[in-house]
């Protein structure tokens, strides 16, 4: 017997890669998503009364494949193509279960499909959040500050384009890898970010997504060795993920960096990340933005304590990052680092300037950073108002509880 909560956890852990494999098998995003939901419904019924299979992902893929065959047979619109497609799927159904390593590669194929040059960057990101990260259409819409209906239409058009244009579900040949690399790196980092700090819900982290993103980064490093961007991103993810055990309490509350027990950090993973940082920074030419971000994470990882962190160097690296990859989010992070060097008043001026431009309107961390700076300046009423704004902007319960604690501390 297994509880519904355990079944839900297994499904959350395995759904991404199971979906990637089903998309490869059936050649259609929507059909694969429907088939996976059908498979999960069967799993809830069967697993609650019997043992969970040794390889839940392969089981979900097999059931989902069979459900896809059933759906195709029921759809009159597929009648002309039905016989050939059903025959192909049934051949796959009679084949031995694929080993986990082959199933794993499907996720990378899916990411390269989402990052096809035929799509605008925002469509690449939206497809990845929806299919790879498993976010709902409503959650993806919030990330882009658009209506759910508009995002739904955008996703439908992208999936239709994949189907009608015959965009292949594959990792492209070596000469076609480079044009997609920036997009692929960005979406892998998005997968990691969703695992590091979830978009919404009751849990701060989704470790399954963070681990998956790191695995994909390693796979990409083997596929395209010697790339500073890949090594920088992999280092960045390893260094951030190494702090996982210290980032929340047993009750699921956030433990801020200054309060974390650094003995809980994964030192072996930190050492692996530091080696990759050095490799990425030694690459010829202008430093890659991911390499600079990894260098910032390395300074945090090397610091014996929060008080001994090299904040001037971190602020300087953010200035480098702003020159090579300017963005309002990096400006906000730079302001937070400046607050540790020049004080919260100087940093607040920088944050207010960002807000005045409207560059981060709707971005939930803007009021959160501003609230923290106001709190440190002793401007309690303004800080409280900013924490209220931050609370209203987030859908993540651990963040809401953190802001509530801060407001209580303000009295």
Nearby residues of 1 by Cβ (< 8 Å), 6 or more positions away? 48, 49
Tell me the CA end-to-end span of the chain in Å, nearest whole number.
48
Q: What is the chain's percent helix, strand, coil content, to nearest 5?
A: 75, 0, 25
Burial 179-193 (b: 16+ CB within 10 A, else e): ebbebbbbbbbbbbb
Most confident option among 63-77, 198-212, 271-285:
271-285
SS3 328: helix
Distance CA 316, CA 170 (A): 40
Q: Does domain 1-98 have CATH number 3.10.20?
A: no
Residue 197 · residue 135 · CB < 8 Å: no
pLDDT bracket for residue 90 (50, 70, 90) = low
The per-residue pLDDT of the chain, averaged, comes to 87
Q: Enter the pTM of the model.
A: 0.78
Distance CA 345, CA 368 (A): 15
Distance CA 228, CA 89 (A): 40
- Half-sphere exposure of 189 toward its Cβ, with a 13 Å CA cutoff? 19
The reported pLDDT for the residue numbered 179 is 77
Q: Residue 237: which of 182, 198, 291, 285 has the closest Cα?
A: 291
Question: Does residue 76 or residue 195 have the better pLDDT?
Answer: 195
Q: Residue 69: which of 43, 32, 117, 42 has the closest Cα?
A: 32
Report DSSP state, residue 304. Answer: S
Distance CA 246, CA 261 (A): 6
Q: Per residue in 307-324, pLDDT tens?
A: 999 999 999 999 999 999
SS3 119: coil
Give the rounded distance of the alpha carbon of 358 from its chain centre: 25
The reported pLDDT for the residue numbered 83 is 57
Q: Say if residue 381's pLDDT is above 90.
A: yes
Distance CA 144, CA 151 (A): 8
pLDDT bracket for residue 50 (50, 70, 90) = confident
SS3 254: strand
Distance CA 338, CA 347 (A): 6
CATH number of 324-410: 1.25.40
Q: Where are the domains of the chain?
A: 1-98, 324-410
The reported pLDDT for the residue numbered 89 is 55
Give the rounded distance of the alpha carbon of 120 from its chain centre: 19
């Amino acid at each position: 017997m297994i509880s519904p909560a355990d079944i839900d956890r297994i499904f959350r852990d395995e759904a991404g890669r199971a979906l990637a494999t089903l998309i490869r098998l059936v050649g259609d995003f929507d059909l694969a998503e429907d088939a996976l939901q059908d498979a999960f419904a069967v799993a809830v019924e069967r697993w609650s009364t019997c043992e969970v299979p040794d390889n839940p992902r392969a089981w979900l893929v097999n059931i989902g494949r069979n459900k896809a065959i059933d759906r195709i047979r029921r759809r009159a619109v597929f009648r002309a193509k039905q016989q050939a497609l059903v025959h192909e799927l049934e051949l796959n159904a009679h084949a031995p279960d694929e080993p986990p390593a082959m199933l794993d590669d499907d996720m990378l194929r899916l990411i390269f499909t989402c990052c096809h040059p035929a799509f605008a960057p925002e469509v690449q990101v939206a497809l990845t959040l929806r299919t790879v990260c498993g976010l709902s259409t409503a959650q993806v819409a919030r990330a882009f500050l658009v209506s759910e209906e508009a995002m739904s239409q955008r996703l439908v058009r992208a999936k239709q384009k994949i189907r009608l244009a015959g965009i292949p579900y594959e990792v492209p040949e070596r000469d076609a890898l480079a044009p997609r690399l920036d997009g692929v790196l960005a979406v892998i980092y998005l997968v990691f970010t969703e695992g590091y700090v979830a978009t919404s819900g009751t849990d701060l982290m989704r470790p399954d997504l963070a681990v998956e993103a790191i695995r994909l980064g390693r796979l990409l490093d083997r596929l395209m060795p010697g790339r500073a961007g890949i090594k920088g991103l992999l280092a960045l993810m390893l260094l951030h993920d190494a702090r996982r055990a210290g980032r929340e309490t047993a009750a699921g509350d956030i433990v801020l960096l200054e309060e974390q027990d650094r003995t809980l950090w994964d030192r072996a993973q930190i050492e692996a990340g530091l080696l990759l940082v050095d490799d990425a920074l030694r690459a010829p030419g202008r430093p890659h933005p991911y390499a600079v971000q990894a260098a910032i994470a390395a300074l945090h990882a090397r610091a014996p304590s929060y008080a001994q962190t090299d904040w001037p160097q971190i602020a300087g690296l953010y200035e480098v990052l702003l020159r090579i990859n300017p963005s309002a989010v990096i400006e906000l992070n730079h302001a937070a680092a400046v607050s540790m060097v020049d004080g919260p008043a100087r940093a607040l001026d920088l944050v207010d300037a960002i807000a005045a431009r409207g560059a981060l309107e709707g971005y939930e961390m803007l009021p959160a950073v501003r609230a923290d700076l106001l709190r440190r300046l002793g401007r309690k009423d303004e800080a409280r108002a900013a924490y209220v704004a931050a609370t209203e902007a987030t859908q993540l319960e651990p963040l809401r509880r953190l802001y509530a604690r801060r407001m209580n501390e303000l009295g």
